[in-house]
Structure 1
Amino acid sequence: MRFNGRVFITIGFILTVFPIFALKKVTKAKPTTVITLTNFNSQLSIDLQGGAIVDFHLKSNKINPFTWKVTTAQMPANNKNGAVFQGHFLSLGRWGAPTEGEMKAGVPHNGQAGRDLWKLEKTELGKPIKMTANPPLDGITVERTIQLDTKSSAYKVTEKVKNVTSVGRLFNMVQHATIGAPFLDSTTLIDSNAKQGFLQTMCYPNPSAYEFIFPNAYTDSTKASLDLRTSSNKNSYVSTHIFADSIGWIVAATPHKGLLVGYVWKTKDYPWLNLWQQWVDGKLWAKGLEFGTTGVGKSYQELLAVDTRFHGRSSFFFLDATEVVEKSYIGFEMEIPADFKGVGGLMLENGNVKLIEESTNKEFRIPTELSLK
C-alpha cells in the first residue's frame, strides 16, 4: 500500500498465508490485476485486464453499484481470450460489433483496449495514477489518468487517445458504465439532463422517425408510453439521447439502499447518452449509463449509407493520422435518505457537485477539488 497525499493506492498481489503447523507449505493465491485507490470515505478499484472500473463504494455504505459482469462463455469469440465485459469499461474505436472483415482480422467487440491488459505506469506521490494501453489492432495508444478526490467520494478520469497510423479514420469512444444488483433493483431511479432521443430498435435509417424527450419514451412504433426514470417496467431497451447543455449528467439512485451514483462531463466530449435496460429470466440484470460519441448503433458502413444525423449530431467523429483527442468525466457517489425523490438538477459550483432533489428542491453537495476545466 502506497500513501499518496490522503489517497492510498493498493496494487493487488494477494498472498494468503496459513499457519506453518497446520500445513506443510504456504499457499499463494493467484495474482490479481486489480488496483485500488482509497481515501478516508470511499474506495475505487480498476481491473488492469480490460481497464474496467469494477468497484466504487463508500466506506459508510459497502454497496458497489458496478457488480454487473458477463461470463467468458457469454463473450464474443474474439473477446474470449481476455477481459469480460464488466462494471464501467471503455468502448474504443467502435461501440459494439466490428465489421465482418475486422472480425476476421481478430478485432474484438468494443475494441481491443477493453479486452487486453493495461500497464500501470510509475505513480508519484500527490499525482493521479496513470495507466496505458497500446491496442495494435485499432492502431491507437491510450493514456488514462485517474484521480480520486482526497476528501470526498468523487474521482476524475481523463483519457488521451492517439491515432498512431498514417491514415485518418472514423472513430468512437463510449463510457460503458453499467450498474447491477444489489444496488440495481426495480426501485432504482434514473435522472439526467438529456433531451431528445430515440429507441435503438426504431432509429435506422431515420433516427427522428419516432423521437421523444427524456424521460418520456415510446416502447414501439405504436408510441406506447415508457417512463425512462423508473426501473419497474419489464422492458429491455436502449434509449439514446442528446443534450442541450454544455454539461451532461446522469444519476442512478436507489433510495431504500441509501445510495446514489452518477457522472458529469462536457457534452463537447461526449454528446450522446445511451440508457440500456436488460431483463433476464424475469430479473432486472443490467442498467447501462453509457455516455459517448455515438448514438445510432450501426457499423460505419451503415452510418454512411444514409444520413443518420440526429438534430445535427453525427454518430462518429474523425480521428486524423497522428491526432490526439482528450476527454474527461467525473464520477461520484453519495448517501441519500430513504425518501429521496430523485435528482431534478445538477451543477458543478464553487468546488461542489451540487444536486437538486426532484420536487423538494433540497440541495445536496459533494465537496470536491476536481473540475472539468
Structure 2
Amino acid sequence: MPKTTYLNRKAFSIENDDLRVTVTVEGGHIAEVFSKAAGVNPLWTPHWTTSEPSEFGPAQEELFGNGVEATLLCGILGHNTCLDLFGGPSPAEAAAGMTAHGEASILPYEITEDGNTLHCRLPMPLAELDFERTITLHGADVLIHEKVINRTAMERPLAWTQHVTLSPPFLDPATTQFRTTADRAAVIESDLGEAPYLEAGKKFAWPHAPLADGKGTQNLQDMKPDAPASSYVAARMISAAKAVSWTAWSPVSRLAFSYVWQPGDFPWLGIWEENRSRSFKPWNNTGVARGMEFGTSPFPESRRAMIERGRLLDTPTYKWLPARGELTATYWIRTAVTDSIPETVSMPSVK
C-alpha cells in the first residue's frame, strides 16, 4: 500500500522491481531511495530518532533545543526542500514563526498516489507560496517535477535548494567517491563547523580546495577520511552544459547514486561535510554525513545576506519569482550498480 510508516513516521511509498521511494507526510522528505539491486538506501538516516515536527514538545526540546533549527532537525531525513529560505531566518522572521530552511521542510503535505507516481502539494501560509512535486518511477531512475507558485502580487527573491544528504551505511568517508560537473567553487566565509579543514572564503578551481593550514589542497571528489572534520563549499555548475549532475559511488555496495538537472534551474551545488565534529546535541561527535545540496543559492545564509551577496563567481545567488507567477524545475535521480564511478551522468530520454 502506498500509505505507510517509515521509522514510525507517516509516509507514502511507491516501488517497482528496481527501487522503493518513500516520502514522509510531515516535511515531505524523500526519506529513502532504496536500490533493490544494491540493497541500500544512500540517503541520510540520522543517528538520532526522528519524530513528526507537529509533535515537537519537551522531549524533543531536550534533545534538539528550542532554536530555529530544532523542528527541522527533529524530523529531518534524506532529501528535504529548502524554500523560500536556504539558511536561517532573521530574528524578526523567527519571531513570526519562520524556521531554518523555511516551512517546506516541516509542514504536512497533501500526498496522493497514482500507480508509480506520488503527487505532493504544500500550501505555505507564512511565505504565501504553494509548492507542488510529482515523483515518478522509471525503472532504476526517478523523475521529479516541482513547481513554486507565488500567491502574492509582489515579485520576490527566491531561495530554492534540494537539501540532499547521504549517510552510512552507503557513505564511508574513507572510500565513497564523488563526481560533479562543476568548474569553480568557493569555501564559505564563516560557520565552517567545529573542525574546519579548508581555508575560509577561498575561491578555487574545482575540485582542489585549499587547506586551512596552507599545506596543499583537498580533492573534494573524496571526503576527508579522518575525523573530526567539517566544511562547506559552494560549487558553480557548468552553465553551458546540457545537464549537470553529481554522483556518489560506494565500492562496497557498488551503487552509483546520481542527481541530474538543468544548470539554469539550479546553478549551485553546496557540499556540506560532517565527520564526527559537532559536539553538541543531538550530534554528540557521532554524526557522519555529506550534503550534496543543489539549488539557486550557494550558501545557507539569511534572506538579507543572500540578496546583499547578489552574485558569486559571476553567478546569481537567488532567483526572482514573478508576481502571481510560478517557477518550475525537473530533475532525475539515477541509480546503477557498477564496478567504478561514472565520470559523467546524462539526462534520461524519458520525459
TM range (shorter): 0.7 to 0.9
Relative to structure 1, the CA distance from residue 106 to residue 33 in structure 2 (aligned partners, 3 Å threshold; closer, same or farther) is: same
Judged with a 3 Å threshold, the aligned counterparts in structure 2 of structure 1 residues 326 and 223 are, in CA distance, closer, same or farther, namely farther
Residue in 2 aligned with 1:195?
A: 183
Moved over 4 A (4+): 78-83, 281-284
CA contact (8 A) 1:75 1:84 kept: no
* 1:145-224 → structure 2 map (5 Å cutoff): 145-149=134-138, 152-185=139-172, 186-201=174-189, 210-220=202-212, 222=214, 224=216
Q: Following superposition of structure 1 onto structure 2, how do residues 1-373 of structure 1 map, counting pairs within 5 Å?
A: 1=1, 10-12=2-4, 32-69=9-46, 72=60, 73-74=63-64, 77-78=67-68, 80=70, 84-121=75-112, 123-125=113-115, 128-149=117-138, 152-185=139-172, 186-201=174-189, 210-220=202-212, 222=214, 224-231=216-223, 232-234=225-227, 235-244=229-238, 245-280=241-276, 285-305=288-308, 308-337=310-339, 340=340, 342-348=341-347, 351=349, 370-371=350-351
SS in 2 for 1:302: helix
Q: Which amino acid aligns with 1:328?
A: T
Indicate if the aligned counterparts of 1:202 and 1:221 stay in contact, CA closer than 8 A: no
CA positional deviation for 1:233 = 5.0
Q: Find the aligned partners of 1:118 and 1:76 in 2 and give their Cα distance.
A: 23
CA-atom RMSD, angstroms? 2.7
Structure 1 residue 215, shift from structure 2 partner: 1.4
Give the match for residue 57 of structure 2. none
Whether the aligned pair in 1 keeps the contact of 2:156 and 2:321 (CA below 8 Å) is: yes
Query: TM-score, normalization: structure 1?
Result: 0.78
1:301 shift after superposition: 2.1
Q: What is the SS of the residue equivalent to 1:63?
A: coil
C-alpha displacement of 1:129 = 2.3
**Alignment partners' CA distance in 2, 1:190 and 1:133:** 32
CA distance in 1, matches of 2:24, 2:333: 17
**1: CA distance between counterparts of 2:111 and 2:34?**
22
CA contact (8 A) 2:131 2:149 kept: yes
Q: Deviations over 1:133-175 (max 9, x none)?
A: 01101110111111111xx211011111111122222111000
Aligned letter for 2:321?
A: L
Residues 123 and 130, structure 2, Cα contact 8 Å, conserved in 1? yes
Once the two structures are superposed, residues 206-225 of structure 1 have per-residue CA deviations (whole angstroms, 9 ceiling, x without a partner) of xx973112211123383731
Gaps of 5+ in 1: 2-9, 15-29, 352-369
Percent identical pairs in the alignment equals 22
Between the aligned partners of 1:315 and 1:223, the Cα distance in structure 2 is 30
For structure 1, which segment, 275-284 or 324-333, has the greater mean C-alpha deviation from structure 2 after superposition?
Answer: 275-284
Deviations 1:227-258 (A, max 9, x none): 10112254311111112223110000111222
Structure number with the bigger relative contact order (C-alpha 8 A, sep ≥ 6) is 2
- The AA in structure 1 aligned to 2:125 is P
Equivalents in 2 of 1:32, 1:68: separation in Å? 13
* Larger deviation, residues 63-72 vs 262-271: 63-72
Per-residue deviation, 1:79? 5.6
Distance 1:46 1:52 in 2: 5
Query: Secondary structure of 1:107's match?
Result: coil
Q: How many residues align?
A: 319
For 1:333-370, what per-residue CA distance to the aligned partner results, in whole angstroms no more than 9, with x for missing partners? 11122xx2x23222236x4xxxxxxxxxxxxxxxxxx3
Q: Is the alpha carbon distance of 1:101 and 1:11 closer, same or farther for their aligned partners in structure 2, counting shifts above 3 Å?
A: same
